[in-house]
Structure 1
Amino acid sequence: MTGARLDEIDRRILSELQADGRMTNVELARRVGISAPPCLRRVRTLEEAGLIRGYHADIDPRALGFEVAVFAMVRLVSQSERDLSAFEARARAWPLVRECHMLNGEIDFILKCVAPDLSSFQHFLTNQLTSAENVASVKTSLVIRCAKDEPGVPFEPFGPLHSHAVAI
């Protein structure tokens, strides 16, 4: 199926797995309206094509004692590819950093961080992040509450998978 385009069944498979990656292949096949063997073949093809990157549990950070979430906006001294890559490698190595996105504009990176408490985050901020090589400045914003945290992409009729074909 490599080189083929996503059809409605593939889109429904992706949508269902995005909502619940733990369902059985039999349940997935029932929900998308095909039998189990071709459903499993389609899922494997979507995995091999890189459209399904993995399966994860949605963990409640607060239930595990991570009470603090912070967004850190990082500006670097140098934006050479070598320096950008070095910062990304450092960010991947910091356990409190859960997401790292390179941006354009005044800020080079935004990091989503979690910590058990404010003091733990402050320790990370002063002893690791702001003191890291090539970091010019860091601005932080403490998350007060989260109104929406949805992984993945929208599969509604107006989403890009409906208006443009995606080759796999």
Structure 2
Amino acid sequence: MGATTTIDELDRSILGILQEEGRITNVELASRVGLTAPPCLRRMRALEEAGVIKGYHAELDPGSLGYGIMVFALVSLRSQAEDDLRAFESHVATLPEVRECHMLNGEIDFILKIVAHDLQSFQSFLTSKLTPAPNVASVKTSLTIRTSKTSCGIPVDPA
């Protein structure tokens, strides 16, 4: 199942359920999509091998692990040459506090989602790891006050 392979309605049902309930048993998944266990498992494995399913994870509560704040950082680089973009991305990939990194079109080059234990630790991260990063011209930050929606994954539309 590559980019040109069709994902049918059964595959979409499997994907939608797995995205919401990653720990569901194969037997329960098969029952919910109207298959027996062996063909359901084959479909799931094919979706994994094709890279449609990229992995499984547990959603953790940041506060329970002491991460009290989340910040979005808008980063502008001095140069947008491909090597410079990749150098910045490589640096950011080494920073566990950066949970997401997206390159943007327009005036801002990257938006980062960053978690920190508190404002002091974020300030330390900002001045010691982010602003001195390769090619960084400026960083504008916004502290999250409240999160009203968090949805992992993507909408799985019917076929």
TM-score (norm 2): 0.95
**Aligned 1:102-117 pairs, distance under 5 A:** 102-117=103-118
What CA deviation, in whole Å up to 9, does each residue of 1:116-138 have, x standing for no partner? 00000000101111112210000
* Cα displacement (A) at 1:11: 0.4
Shift of residue 156, structure 1, vs aligned partner = 4.3
CA distance, structure 2, for counterparts of residue 14 and residue 132 of structure 1: 38
Give the match's secondary structure for 1:99: strand
Which 5+ residue runs of structure 1 have no aligned equivalent? Answer: 163-168
Q: Which residue of 1 aligns with 2:13?
A: 12
Give the letter aligned to residue 12 of structure 1: S
2:129 pairs with 1:122: no
Paired residue for 1:77? 78
Equivalent residue letter for 1:65: G
Alignment of 1:101 onto 2:102: yes
CA RMSD of aligned residues (A): 1.3
Report the residue type matching 2:99 in the other structure: R
The 10-residue stretch of structure 1 (13-22 or 3-12) with the greater mean CA deviation from structure 2:
3-12
Count of residues in correspondence between the two structures:
158
In the TM superposition, 1:59-70 aligns within 5 A as: 59-70=60-71
Q: Partner letter of residue 126 of structure 1?
A: T
Query: How far, CA to CA, are the matches of 2:6 and 2:80 in structure 1?
Result: 38
Query: 1:166 matched to which residue of 2?
Result: none
Partner of 2:132: 131
* Counterpart AA for 1:28: L
1:123-160 residue CA offsets vs partner (Å, 9 max, x unmatched): 01011111122100000000011111101111245xxx
Structure 2 SS opposite 1:27: helix
> Which residues of structure 2 form unaligned runs of 5+?
none
1:29 match: secondary structure: helix
In structure 1, C-alpha distance between the alignment counterparts of 2:150 and 2:128, rounded to whole Å: 29
Listed as ranges, the matches of 1:30-69 within 5 Å are 30-69=31-70
- State the distance in 1 between where 2:5 and 2:156 align: 19
Identity of aligned residues (%): 63
3-state SS, counterpart of residue 52 of structure 2: coil
Shift in Å at residue 89 of structure 1? 0.5
**Structure 1 residues 72 and 33: alpha-carbon distance in aligned structure 2, compared to 1, 3 A threshold:** same
Aligned to 1:23: 24
Cα distance in 2 between the residues matched to 1:95 and 1:15: 29
Question: Partners of 1:40 and 1:34 in 2: how far apart?
Answer: 10
d(CA) in 2 for partners of 1:111 and 1:123? 16
Q: List structure 1 segments (4+ residues) > 2 angstroms apart after TM superposition.
A: 1-4
Aligned AA for 1:9? L
